[in-house]
Amino acid sequence: MLFTLLAFGIALGLLITFHEFGHYAVARYFGVRVERFSVGFGRILLQRTDQHGTQWALSAIPLGGYVKMLDTAGADASPQERAQAFDAKPLWQRSLVVGAGPAANLVLAVVLYALLNWAGYQEPTAIIATPPEQSLAAQAGLHGGEQITAVDGAPVASWNQLRWQLLNPLADGGRVSLEALSESGARRDYTLDLVATDIAEEKNDPLAELGLTLALPRARVTEVLADSAGEQGGLQAGDVIVGIEDIREPDPTTLVDLVSRHADQPLSVQVSREGTELSFFVTPRAEQDEDGLTVGRIGVMLGADLPMTLVRHGLFDGLSKATTRTMETAGLSLRMLGRMVTGQASLRNLSGPVTIADYAGQTARAGWVSYISFMALISVSIGILNLLPIPMLDGGHLFFYAIEALRGGRPIPEHWRERGHRIGLSILLTLMFLAIFNDFARLFSP
Residues 102 and 19: beta-carbon distance below 8 Å: yes
For residues 428 and 390, the answer to whether their CB atoms sit within 8 Å is yes
Given a contact cutoff of 8 angstroms between Cβ atoms, the answer to whether 253 and 261 are in contact is no
Rounded CA separation 53/45 (Å):
19
CA nearest neighbour of 435 among 385, 389, 377, 379: 385
* Pairing relationship of beta strands 247-248 and 276-282 according to DSSP bridges: unpaired
**Residue 43 three-state SS:** strand
**Helix 368-386 vs helix 2-29: crossing angle, to nearest 10:** 50
Instruction: Enter the DSSP assignment of 393.
Output: S
Instruction: Give the whole-angstrom CA distance, residue 340 versus residue 21.
Output: 31
- Assign residue 155 a region (left: φ > 0; alpha: ψ between -120 and 50; beta: otherwise): beta
Nearest to 416 by CA among 440, 438, 395, 399: 399
> Which residues are identified as catalytic?
20
| Euclidean distance between CA atoms 307 and 214, whole angstroms | 11
- Give the Cα-Cα-Cα angle 162, 165, 166 (nearest 5 degrees): 85
Q: How far apart are CA 422 and CA 424, in angstroms?
A: 5
How many Cβ atoms from other residues are within 10 Å of residue 388's Cβ?
19
Rounded-to-integer distance, Cα 36 and Cα 24, Å? 10
One-letter identity of residue 36: R
How does 360-379 read in b/e, with b if 16+ C-beta sit within 10 Å? bbebbeeeebebbbbbbbbb
